[in-house]
Amino acid sequence: MSQYIVETKQANVSNLKREDLLNAMLYRHACKKFDPTKIIGHEDWSAILEAARLTPTSLGFEPFKLLVIQNKEIRQRMAEFGWGIQAGLEASHFVAILARKKQEIQFDSPYIRHMVDEVKQLPEDIQDLYKGFYKRFTEEDYKTFESERAAFDWTSKQAYIVLGNMLTMAAYEGIDSCPLEGFHQDNMTALLGDELGLFDTKEFGIAVMAAFGYRAEEPRRPKTRRTMDEIVEII
Ligand SMILES: Cc1cc2nc3c(=O)[nH]c(=O)nc-3n(C[C@H](O)[C@H](O)[C@H](O)COP(=O)(O)O)c2cc1C
């Protein structure tokens, strides 16, 4: 079987309890102080990565990559460019979620060809259909190729779905986390990409980051959210 085909036969949702997932979501909070001595176990971490891998993406093009930064020296360097990420840098695991840039998501780019030919293994006729949809979608519907920024914002949106799934899976395992946008994108990209060579800055930008580990203290403030009436309108 192709390495790209995900085995789904064992998936059975009939015995799952909705309370379990809701409890995990209530447990999740933006952790402000991680215990640096508590390390996430291999199986728990693997499940968080699997949640990322199984994330749906527009047209199934998976335009993201996870950079898991465990190197302490690199984390120290990163602190300079992130007012909001300092606490997260202490956590067991730290991830930069990269999103692909415009050149990467053109239909005839090597990356999209890899997705279409090898990963999705689309037959020729379906590929033609895809190409037509993609052209319309990117040029007329969402105008994702209008600018470098529009393209990166579009791939970053996919990266944020990845982020959400990782946070939820972590909470389901009793693991704390914090999504992180509190950093200077250009300076961080210059450090991780240009200086340290951890990714090619022509191909990727940093969409968002996240820290995973275990809380060193309980949340300082109660969780607040708008009421359902404020959020939902049924027409
Ligand atoms: C995309 C995103 C970026 C965030 N960036 C930061 C950050 O840089 N630093 C931080 O301490 N919290 C950050 N947060 C946490 C939010 O402030 C927090 O999720 C929000 O206040 C709701 O609180 P709760 O997650 O505890 O329910 C971020 C959250 C999201 C979703």
Cβ partners under 8 Å of residue 44, min gap 6 = 173, 175
Report the predicted TM-score, pTM, of the whole model to 2 decimal places. Answer: 0.97
The sheet that has 64-68: what strands, in order across it? Answer: 64-68, 93-100, 204-213, 176-180
Which one of 94, 178, 221 would you pick to mutate in the ligand 1 pocket, going by the greatest count of ligand atoms within 8 A of its CB? Answer: 178
Atom 31 in ligand 1: which residue has the minimum CA distance?
179
C-alpha of residue 4 to centroid of ligand 1, in Å? 33
Cα angle 189-192-143, degrees, rounded to a multiple of 5: 35
Atom 9 in ligand 1: which residue has the minimum CA distance?
84
Cβ partners under 8 Å of residue 74, min gap 6 = 192, 196, 198
| pLDDT in single tens digits along all 235 residues of the chain | 789 999 998 889 989 999 999 999 999 999 999 999 999 999 999 999 999 999 999 999 999 999 999 999 999 999 999 999 999 999 999 999 999 999 999 989 999 999 999 999 999 999 999 889 999 999 999 999 999 999 999 999 999 999 999 999 999 999 999 999 999 999 999 999 999 999 999 999 999 999 999 999 999 999 999 999 999 999 9
